Homo-oligomer: A and B are copies of this chain.
């Protein structure tokens, strides 16, 4: 019988030599938080690196304490017998740099000042996140990755693995990804930023950890949340239902969809640092796989391994056409590539809401790959 993943522990490794970032600045020292599930085989050939989205963390599966209300963010996918099968694969997930979930980010201590970096933290790019992950696998003495898989910002990292380290991954699996963040997504992130900047408690990033800009961050999160949903998912989930507590003619009366966004925004504030949110939004906006290349095509020409792409019909943040553009370029370059458009009404979030729609394809792909 398949036993679930036992209690998980987040591990940490610190690289005293740090990392040179794309901006030219050095991040020294550099700590990476990570979790592993399953066992590395003797040939060290069964590692799958899972890359997380904007507000994700290293805790992708299992329970970090018996009191947890929810398991890791991709527990549906990772475990014995699950698509990322811990009986066969060694699953590794690390927190991206710039985040606040254990890896070095704006809440970390700046060794120059012995105080938190806050806005003295350097701007990081998705490419920098991947370079930090490379330090981690080198440290773990893992020579190659069977697959790099992730959704949204995780898809960007998967693609960058193929471009920056073409000899390391044996496949990449970008889900709900894009080759470059479109202006609509930048504009929405711009709203989120401004919501935070407008909050007097933000204090140009120098808020005290126990007195963060809760209103600004909650509003910023609501912007993000809307962009992860879709018209049809909102119709299904909320329609035009009005809050039972409010009168229709109350000036402050709310529709259910507003209450939902309020609630999600206000709970998010308890779990995520505002400056990290801003730095990661910046990394998302700056993402362009053609960065440092003459064209997207030139960047993609570096990819050697097969890639498996999933896009979702109702995703208006990184629309399917954008995913298809990259897949088509790879195909034209003669690379082994599969593109699947998944019909789903749940917008960008579909990859988390309806994984069953792409899991059969993923299993087949991994079976073929693992031989």
Contacts and interface: CB of A to CB of B under 8 A. Distances in A.
A223 interface: yes
B226 A187 contact: yes
A361 interface: no
Given A258-B186, A319-B231, A240 B181 contact: yes
Contacts of A248: 286
Interface string A169-199: 0000000000011111011101100110011
Interface string A193-235: 0110011100000000000000110010011001001110011
Interface stretch (A67-75, A141-149, A249-257): A249-257
Q: How many copies does the complex hold?
A: 2
A123 B183 contact: no
A316 interface: yes
A60 B245 CA distance: 40
B234 A187 contact: yes
A39 B19 CA distance: 75
Contacts of A215: 198
A183 B194 CA distance: 23
B191 A226 contact: yes
Given A182-B235, A198-B215, A234-B182, A249 B123 contact: yes
Say what secondary structure dominates the interface of chain A: helix
A122 interface: yes
A255 B285 contact: yes
A131 to B, nearest CB: 16
A255 B198 contact: no
A239 interface: yes
A26 interface: no
Nearest to A188: B226
Nearest to A235: B183
A261 interface: yes
A251 B190 contact: no
A263 interface: no
Interface string A276-314: 001000100110100000000000000000000000000
A12 interface: no
29 contacts: A23-B249, A25-B249, A119-B251, A122-B249, A123-B249, A181-B240, A182-B231, A182-B240, A183-B231, A183-B235, A183-B237, A183-B255, A183-B257, A184-B230, A184-B231, A186-B255, A187-B257, A187-B258, A188-B226, A190-B258, A191-B219, A191-B222, A191-B223, A191-B226, A191-B261, A198-B198, A231-B319, A251-B278, A251-B282
Interface of A: 23-25, 119, 122-123, 180-184, 186-188, 190-191, 194-195, 198-200, 215-216, 219, 222-223, 226, 229-231, 234-235, 237-240, 248-251, 254-255, 257-258, 261-262, 278, 282, 285-286, 288, 316, 319
Given A25-B249, A186-B257, 5 more contacts: A123-B250, A183-B239, A190-B254, A190-B258, A200-B200
Ranked nearest first, the 5 interchain pairs of A and B with the lowest CB-CB distance are: A183-B234, A190-B258, A23-B249, A123-B249, A183-B257
